[in-house]
Amino acid sequence: MKSKTLSVLAGVGAPLILTAHASAGFLGIKVVGKPNEFGLIVCNIYAMFDRPPTPDPDNPGEFIFHDLMQAVSGTVNAPLLIQVLGGGTFYNHFLNGDQAPLTTLVGAFPIAAFDTFVTIGVKQLIAPGGPGPGQTEDLLTVTPGFGPIEGTQFATTTSGWAIIPNAAQADPFNQNFVAGNGSVLIGQFATADGTGFSGTMLLRFVANDQVRPNYVSFFHVPAPGAVALLGMVGLRGSRGRRRRGMTQDVRHELPR
């Protein structure tokens, strides 16, 4: 069996999705630049779906079709690779790990909202009993030996991150997690000294009531105007560097 292949081209002026060979219910991935006042280049990676839950008329509380995100991983035949372009390194807040930050941390250090982390459906977490927007728990699990995501690239053939079956945060249409509009956040990557990001990863999800794999790739470099704006707002502490907008179509296919 050969996994279907999807390639995503993104140059940040507007998020782009390429849907060639996408599975039923799965549209592809979307890369969105995240503006900030700290001079960081930040991109959010979303898995996109178009099939909301359909109630089963014969079984109240059950659904006929239900898209769900499950896991992001690397294998020997399909390595997970995310790298910072231009010789830069990942930005990592010194008080946060490889998962979504606590809202209390973001409150004390606003730059932590733009940290590098992996996730399925969660941007920020509320500490138990704490106020503020976000989620009070994160059911994400990472495999033993995963991370840290640091340096110029992160690569693995044996690990990844996953969500327990039927978790609410894996539902693309649950409005309590991110937008609830068919998108599931699966990672945020940031750099203070690079020019952008590229990556490949193997996604597993439920679409049309079947577990499906999709090997996806992305390439993200801000357009020149966006980089100039980042340079202006980041003059207080970040190093500026001239960057050129780039686009590249990268396709990968799993071996048979």
Q: What is the DSSP string of the chain?
A: ---EEEE--B-SSS-----TTPPTTEEEEEEEE---SSS-EEEEEEEEE-----B-TTSTT-BSS--EEEEEE--SSS-EEEEEETT--B---TT--SSPPBHHHHHH-GGGGG--EE-SS-S-BPPTT--SSSBS---EEE-TT-----TTEEEESS-EEEE-TT-GGG-TT-TTSTT-SSEEEEEEEEESS-SEEEEEEEEEEEETTEEEEEEEEEEE---HHHHHHHHHHTTTTSPP----------------
Q: Which of 244, 196, 229, 197 is nearest to 38 (CA)?
A: 229
Q: If you average pLDDT over residues 195-206, what whole number do you get?
A: 96
Q: Which of 63, 12, 2, 75 is nearest to 230 (CA)?
A: 12
pLDDT in tens, 5-63: 333 333 333 343 433 345 568 999 999 999 999 999 999 999 999 888 777 788 887 77
Which range scores top for mean pLDDT: 3-12, 87-96, 144-153, 231-240?
87-96
Q: How far apart are CA 254 and CA 8, in angstroms?
A: 16
Q: What is the pLDDT of residue 176?
A: 82
pLDDT exceeding 70 applies to what percent of the chain? 74
Q: If you average pLDDT over residues 142-151, what whole number do you get?
A: 92
Q: How far apart are CA 78 and CA 145, in angstroms?
A: 18
* The pLDDT of residue 116 is above 80: yes
Q: What is the pLDDT of residue 10?
A: 35
